[in-house]
Amino acid sequence: MQPYPITAMALCNGMGDSTAAVLAALRAGRSGLGPCPAEFELDAVVGAIPSPLPALPRLLGPVRDTRQARIAAVALAELQAPLERARARWGGDRVAIVLGTSTGGIEASETAYAHAEAHGGALPPDYDVEHSHALDAVLHLARVLGGGLGGPAYVVSTACSSSAKVFASAQRLLAADLCDAVLVGGVDSLCRLTVRGFAGLEVLSSKPCRPFSRERAGINIGEGAALLLVERTGEGPARLLGVGESSDAYHMTSPHPEGLGARLAMERALHHAGLFAGDVDHVNAHGTGTKQNDSMESAAIRAVFAGAAAPAVVATKGYTGHMLGAAGATEIAFVVDAIAGRYLPASVGADPLDDTLAVDVVTARRDVPTRAALSNSFAFGGSNCSVLVGGPA
């Protein structure tokens, strides 16, 4: 595929409510995990945005003013200047929007139905399913707060691979000449359904998660947004080089034990970019901190890089928790910063390593350059995506 520059990005999550705060924490090896909100009534650790979220502009209407929308608005506010430049350069109708989400407005619906239970079945007046809950409710927000983006716009919802797969969508839209720039990313908010749901699956840890550690005991859930601007041409800190997707459909909630779908996604990303395994310096792992994921992902990495120099492996969910539909884009943004800053962030919580996994996990920051990196996202149902990112031309 033709490489496309990533010209801007914005982040907010448990590490901070701005891109600067998030990246400062990443560079310093500082986790954003903390206690689960009391209203969840669960002994768990989560990655919650640490400060209050501003209300949406009144022009958007109260039915759109959900936690998910507020999180997206925080990230969008940081992209006003880059989006204005893109509109001026390409025209608003040539700027597309493709966003990933897993929970959508579930948090808003939980609040609304709690209100209904307490008020004889009446839903609150500032709630409706179409604008408060629906997966695509965030698109209107992006169009308006993006200053009038009029290109193709849609949401991808494939659980935890959602906001990695949007990069494949962006590549296809650009290759088909349907647009010249794409605002991609993901946004999800904490809600009872996901936190309690993962507890029900018995994979939720009551302590900070520890991907690739021999003491790993499960995942934490996080929330946040990551938005990136991919353009046909331009200057930026990194380039989108290739995307690989697969669907192994091994099990509804468990990965293939040998990582066959994960391996295929990574191999397809390399093929898409016309690169070899030896051209990749590090892998940003899906790295959830469960026994199954880290074992199968390590096997897949070893298989892809057999015969090549072993890549450094970075796992970042110890910073944010698993952000579900926002995880993929967040971790790709982390890769962009690592490439730009010529460093590899520490995999918080990984030490002591599980030596049986036999991959080179980065446990302390390394100040080294990266030519190209794979970022992995794997989801329920066997939906796998690997995004290949490289430095500027």
> What is the per-residue DSSP string for 277-308?
GGG--EEE----S-HHHHHHHHHHHHHHTTTS
Q: What is the predicted pLDDT for the residue at 187?
A: 98
Alpha helices in the chain (DSSP H): 19-28, 67-78, 80-90, 106-118, 137-145, 162-175, 192-200, 260-273, 291-304, 317-320, 327-341
What end-to-end distance do the CA atoms of the chain give, in Å? 14
For residues 342 and 13, what is the distance between their CA atoms, to the nearest angstrom?
23
Digit-coded pLDDT (tens) for 5-53: 999 999 999 999 999 999 999 999 999 999 999 889 899 999 999 999 9
How confident is the model at residue 183, as a pLDDT?
98
Q: Is the pLDDT of residue 252 over 80?
A: no
Report the percentage of the chain scoring pLDDT > 90.
91
Degrees, nearest 5: CA angle 160-82-13: 35
Does residue 178 register a pLDDT over 90?
yes
User: In whole angstroms, what is the distance from residue 164 CA to residue 98 CA?
Assistant: 11
Looking at residue 248, its pLDDT comes to 85
Tens-digit pLDDT profile for residues 213-246: 999 999 999 999 999 999 999 999 999 999 999 9
Residue 250 pLDDT grade (very low, low, confident, very high; cuts 50, 70, 90)? confident
Specify the pLDDT at position 1: 86
Domains annotated for the chain, with CATH where assigned, are 4-231 (3.40.47.10), 239-390 (3.40.47.10)
Q: Is 0.95 topped by the overall pTM?
A: yes
**Stretch 76-84: mean pLDDT:** 97
Please tell me the distance from the alpha carbon of residue 29 to that of residue 349, in angstroms, as a whole number: 10
Q: Are 230 and 180 in contact (CB under 8 A)?
A: no
Position with higher pLDDT, 255 vs 234: 234
pLDDT score of 85? 97
CA distances from 251 to 164, 239, 241, 328 (A): 20, 33, 30, 21
pLDDT band (50, 70, 90) for residue 382: confident
- Can you read off the two tokens belonging to residue 299? 């096997």
For 121-174, what is each residue's pLDDT tens digit?
999 999 999 999 999 999 999 999 998 999 999 999 999 999 999 999 999 999
Residue with the two structure tokens 């006003």: 80
Which of 36, 160, 179, 209 is catalytic? The answer is: 160
How many whole angstroms separate alpha carbon 290 and alpha carbon 201? 12
Say what the pLDDT of residue 249 is. Answer: 83
Position 59 scores a pLDDT of 84
Q: How far, in Å, are 9, 324, 367 from residue 192 at the CA level? A: 29, 14, 39
Task: Choose the catalytic residue: 131, 282, 286, 385.
Answer: 286
Catalytic residue among 12, 256, 322, 385: 322
List of residues 6+ apart from 329 with CB closer than 8 A? 100, 163, 164, 166, 167, 184, 185, 186, 226, 227, 228
CA–CA gap between residue 61 and residue 356 (Å, rounded): 54
256: pLDDT confidence band, cut at 50, 70 and 90?
Answer: confident
Active site residue 286: yes
Q: Active-site residue 160, yes or no? A: yes
Question: Which residues is 386 bridged to in the sheet?
Answer: 244, 376
